[in-house]
Structure 1
Amino acid sequence: MTRINILDPGASPLDYYGYELRRYREAAGLTQQQLGDIVNYTASLICQIETAKKLPTAQFSERVDAALGTGGALSRLVDLVMRSQLPAWFREVAELEARAREICLFQPQLVHGLLQTDAYARAVLGAVEDDDLNNRTAARLARQRVFQKVQPPVFWAVFGEAVLYHKVSGANVMREQLLKLLSFERNPRVNIQILPFDTGIHAGLLGSFDIFRFATDPTIVYSEDYETGHPTANPDAVESRSLRYDHLRAAALSIEDSAELIRSVMEDRYGEQQLA
């Protein structure tokens, strides 16, 4: 007789999700195979999610909620589950991203995680360690759900021009990534600017940072090193970083000129003729 793995729902958000999925499925009188046939996923995948071996996606949760009549219970758990998969020191930042009214960031070397494609994120996360890469990539991409909210944050990104040339993985990956940046070109709530090489000395030479602004809570600025992150609401730090950001935006290309540069680099460096 096959031994059924019973999860402890208090062990983690992922365990709780798996426990609830199994409970709802069994209450509906369905096997894993039957539920899989209804929602167009394999019984193996449902088993892996029920035993906390694989992360559920938002699409999976929506389909299962509809099939089992849960009233959206599983979909409401997805963000919590995904956030629990992030490094402990980064979970506070993910919460800031989810609550912020406005997000301003500066990145001189890499596309920020909130704008990364699956392939780009996978390459960055796997650069040093490839353990559990699928789940870590899914958790990073889940943060991008902030753009799907009824009222998403106003988002400003200033990238160093090196971001366009720093070849992460390969030409196909970079072309897809730059296409994603261009997909926001007509989105008034997502603004991307490029700080060109010839700017010379600029206000961001000390490294990347993020600024989170809220409707009522104090503004928080964030920076990180190799091992951890450093959020602070210290008024002096907030004022200093905000001033630096104003200077960076002023020195960067306009939103329109930035899009043209991104398009030009994509076609010249990662165009179809370069992919063979």
Structure 2
Amino acid sequence: MTHINVLDPGASPLDYYGFELRRHREAASLTQRQLGDIVNYTGSLVGQIETARKLPTPEFSERVDAALGTGGLLSRLVDLVMRSQVPAWFQQVAELEGRAAEICTFQTHMIHGLLQTDAYVRAVLGTLDPNDLDDRTAVRLARQRIFEKEEPPVFWTVLSEAALHQEIGGRDTMRGQLAHLLSFENNPRINVQVLPFSVGAHPGLTGSFNLYRFAKDPTILYTERYGSGHPTANPETVKDCSLRYDHLRAAALSLKDSADLIRRVMEECYGQQGHTDDGPVA
């Protein structure tokens, strides 16, 4: 409890969140345990969040806002907290995702982070590094809240068929992940096309890339290497990759045929065969 007294609200968004949580809890004359009982969390967790030792979740924030009558303060702050926890080299991309009117992405070997399920995220992030996996998973999933905005971006992904067959996290995880992709089948703002193996050589052989388009600002191209990202607004480079993306979309299966292929792979490669958990992992 001594750490609470020295918490500096200006140190980071996480510290500021903890400071505001404590301030509003004390104004309501509630102990950490009492607040935890009201929102169905432990008092220990409330204390860890107040002292910036644990990341809050959107659900926690919504419950505490309702319990303390904060007018949605913590729910607004949690987005800032999550964005601040993104690795430094990736923070610019998180900011681009939050501002873009349209996101176009080509993925060669795995599902894009904005469409990943909880279990799939854990399998990806937990490879060789299981430390702080709960918090790191929450940070990645928080990026998906851009689809909950009043004006969410239009999202297009061209996904290599290889990503459907790369078994990340096991059969149940993959089945849930592919079912999650199918859940967007009738959503005009989230569009999934599969580039089938039968296409052969294609303009995306050099690797995955993202294009971020804005209402007024120039388009940004983003490519990634291990542990580093490379955004650029160079007109010639952006023009070249935009042309590549147009050709990839033209070569990919239609939205309907893509969904049919995803469904077929899900059943043929990750069907039940004695498994019981076949629901999508959200």
Q: TM-score, length-normalised on structure 2?
A: 0.95
Structure 2 gaps of 5+ residues are 277-282
Q: Which residue is 1:3 aligned to?
A: 2
- Partners of 2:255 and 2:23 in 1: CA distance: 50
Superposition deviation, residue 138 in structure 1: 0.5
Structure 1 stretch displaced more, 253-262 or 129-138:
129-138
Q: What are the superposed Cα offsets for residues 191-225 of structure 1, whole Å, 9 maximum, x if unpaired?
A: 00000011111010000000000111111010010
The alignment status of 1:269 with 2:272, answered yes or no, reads no
Superposition deviation, residue 76 in structure 1: 0.9
Letter in structure 1 aligned against 2:195 = L
Q: Which residue is 1:16 aligned to?
A: 16
Q: Which residue is 1:258 aligned to?
A: 258
Superposition deviation, residue 128 in structure 1: 2.6
- Partners of 1:40 and 1:5 in 2: CA distance: 22
Q: What are the superposed Cα offsets for residues 71-124 of structure 1, whole Å, 9 maximum, x if unpaired?
A: 111111111100111100101100100110000000010001000001101111
- Partners of 1:97 and 1:269 in 2: CA distance: 32
Contact kept? 2:154, 2:189, Cα under 8 Å: yes
- Partners of 1:107 and 1:205 in 2: CA distance: 10
Contact kept? 1:171, 1:274, Cα under 8 Å: no
* Same amino acid, percent of matched pairs: 68
Q: What are the superposed Cα offsets for residues 167-197 of structure 1, whole Å, 9 maximum, x if unpaired?
A: 0010000001001000000001110000001
Superposition deviation, residue 275 in structure 1: 3.4
- Partners of 2:151 and 2:20 in 1: CA distance: 29
- Partners of 1:80 and 1:192 in 2: CA distance: 28
Contact kept? 2:3, 2:51, Cα under 8 Å: no
Superposition deviation, residue 8 in structure 1: 1.3
- Partners of 1:59 and 1:139 in 2: CA distance: 13
The alignment status of 1:184 with 2:184, answered yes or no, reads yes
Q: Which residue is 1:152 aligned to?
A: 152
* Secondary structure of the structure 2 residue equivalent to 1:186: coil
- Partners of 1:245 and 1:166 in 2: CA distance: 23
* Secondary structure of the structure 2 residue equivalent to 1:169: coil
CA RMSD of aligned residues (A): 1.1
- Partners of 2:274 and 2:151 in 1: CA distance: 39
Letter in structure 2 aligned against 1:86 = V
**Equivalences for 1:76-225 in 2 at 5 Å?**
76-225=76-225
Q: Which residue is 1:51 aligned to?
A: 51
- Partners of 2:245 and 2:2 in 1: CA distance: 57
Q: Which residue is 1:228 aligned to?
A: 228
Contact kept? 1:28, 1:68, Cα under 8 Å: yes
Q: What are the superposed Cα offsets for residues 5-40 of structure 1, whole Å, 9 maximum, x if unpaired?
A: 331111211111111100110011111111112212
Contact kept? 2:24, 2:70, Cα under 8 Å: yes
* Secondary structure of the structure 2 residue equivalent to 1:5: helix
Q: TM-score, length-normalised on structure 1?
A: 0.97
Superposition deviation, residue 4 in structure 1: 5.0
* Secondary structure of the structure 2 residue equivalent to 1:273: coil
* Secondary structure of the structure 1 residue equivalent to 2:157: strand
Contact kept? 1:17, 1:50, Cα under 8 Å: yes
Q: Which residue is 2:280 aligned to?
A: none
Q: What are the superposed Cα offsets for residues 135-179 of structure 1, whole Å, 9 maximum, x if unpaired?
A: 111100000001111111110000000111000010000001001
Q: Which residue is 2:245 aligned to?
A: 245
- Partners of 1:226 and 1:159 in 2: CA distance: 20
- Partners of 2:49 and 2:156 in 1: CA distance: 36
**Structure 1 residue runs of 4+, over 2 Å off?**
2-6
Structure 1 stretch displaced more, 265-274 or 232-241:
265-274
Letter in structure 2 aligned against 1:271 = G
